[in-house]
Amino acid sequence: MPLAIFDLDNTLLDGDSDYLWGVFLAERRVVDPDHYERENARFYAEYKEGRLDIHEFLRFSLAPLARHAPAALAAWRAEFLATRIEPIVLPKAVALVEGHRAAGDTLLIVTATNRFVTAPIAARFGIPHLIATEPEVRDGRYTGEVEGVPSFREGKVVRLEQWLDAHGQTLDGSRFYSDSHNDLPLLERVDHPVAVDPDPTLAEHARRCGWPVLSLRD
């Protein structure tokens, strides 16, 4: 069955779950609000500009997971999903996923955002396979470090190739939906790249390459 691969943030969602999680933590004063909001905004701008240092960002974004007990983290995440994620689930994105499900395609999200944030969002869409940045866990607690290769830019290709080997799959007939020029390495790897509400850099690249452009926003 062909793979239907989806980016998550600003593709299936009308917003960025990684950035919004940081905003949520700052508003709840789980982190120092002034410092965290300033740094969160800086990293998000660098991401959009294509110059994000992913390891610097992950040291910042995963630190709160290491500072708090799993029960507290789970409670905050449940509130975050209900108040911040559910309102930005795009109905047309749900319909797109359901169309691929009905066609019998294998559904997969590939996202740079960490698994703690994204696993329940993938479940919300009913997408059974998720490649996300993996926060390291030891003795039942997050360490604030990353396990393996972050699934960002070329790392998405590396992680997908590992997944393909593990699952006996290929990219024959594969389709990948993304909004971001940061995903060009993976968009250029699949058989059918699709730009979804693309940023200006990706929109221009899609135009030059003749890739389809799709909008999931009303």
Catalytic residues: 7, 9
Closest C-alpha among 174, 80, 74, 183 to residue 129: 174
Rounded-to-integer distance, Cα 157 and Cα 153, Å: 8
Sequence-ordered alpha helix ranges (H) in the chain: 17-27, 33-49, 54-67, 70-80, 91-102, 115-124, 154-167, 184-187, 200-209
The residues facing 134 across adjacent strands are 147
* CA 184, chain centre distance (Å): 14
Rounded-to-integer distance, Cα 47 and Cα 14, Å: 16
